[in-house]
Amino acid sequence: MKINKTLFSLFLFIFLLSHRGFAQDVKQLYSAAIREAESGNKDFAFMHCRELLENYPGSKYASDAAFAIGEYYFITANYESAAEALSNFINEYPDSKGLPFVLMYLLKVPQIYKNESLTEKLKNQIISLKRLSLLFQESKGYAYTSPLGIKYRMMYYIDKVELYVDDKLFENIPY
C-alpha cells in the first residue's frame, strides 16, 4: 500500500508539473505573437498563432489565435484560406467576442467574388447577431482587439450597422 501511495504521489507531482509547463508555454507563445504584432511583424505573429492553435487547441488563447489566423489570411488577400479559417472559427468558437468581426470578414469574401445571395445572407446574419433594444440610447457598440493589434468596432443603430477596422469604416449595412 505504501508503494502505491508513493507512486501516486510521484505521478501527481509529474502531472502537475507538466500542466504548469503547458500554461507557461502557451502563454509565452501568445505573448510572442502579441510582441511580434506590436513590432509590425504580422507574419511572425501569424506563425506564433498558428503554432499555438496546432499545439494548444484547448487553451484560453485558442479563439484569439484562430481569429488572428483568419484575419491574417484576409489582410494578405488569401481569401479562400481566410474563408476556410473564419468558417472554422464560427464552428469552434460560436460564443467568442470576435464572432461579429469574423462575420464582417466573411461578408467581404462573397462581395469580392460577386456572390450576391451569400452577401445578403451574411448581412442578415450580422444584423440579427446582436438582438438588442435601443429604447433609451441611440446606438449599441461592440469592440474587439485582435492578437495582430487590429482594433474592431461594430455599432448597431436603429436603421443600420456600421463596422470599423482601426476606426475606419469597413462596412455599412442598412436595414
Q: Which of 3-12, 69-78, 110-119 has the highest mean pLDDT?
A: 69-78
- For all residues of the chain together, what is the average pLDDT? 87
Residues 87-110: tens digit of each pLDDT: 999 999 999 999 999 999 999 999
Q: Which residue has the higher pLDDT, 7 or 60?
A: 60
Specify the pTM: 0.81
Q: What pLDDT does residue 22 have?
A: 44
Distances (CA, A) of 49 to 9, 69, 142: 35, 7, 24
For residue 124, give the amino acid letter. Answer: N
pLDDT for 132 = 56
Name all domains of the chain by residue range, CATH numbers in brackets: 2-174 (1.25.40.10)
pLDDT (tens digit per residue) in 8-33:
555 545 544 444 444 569 999 999 99
φ and ψ at residue 125, rounded to 5 degrees: -65, -40
47 confidence band (pLDDT: 50, 70, 90): very high
Nearest to 152 by CA among 160, 56, 40, 161: 161
Nearest 5°: the CA angle 150, 154, 156 is 175
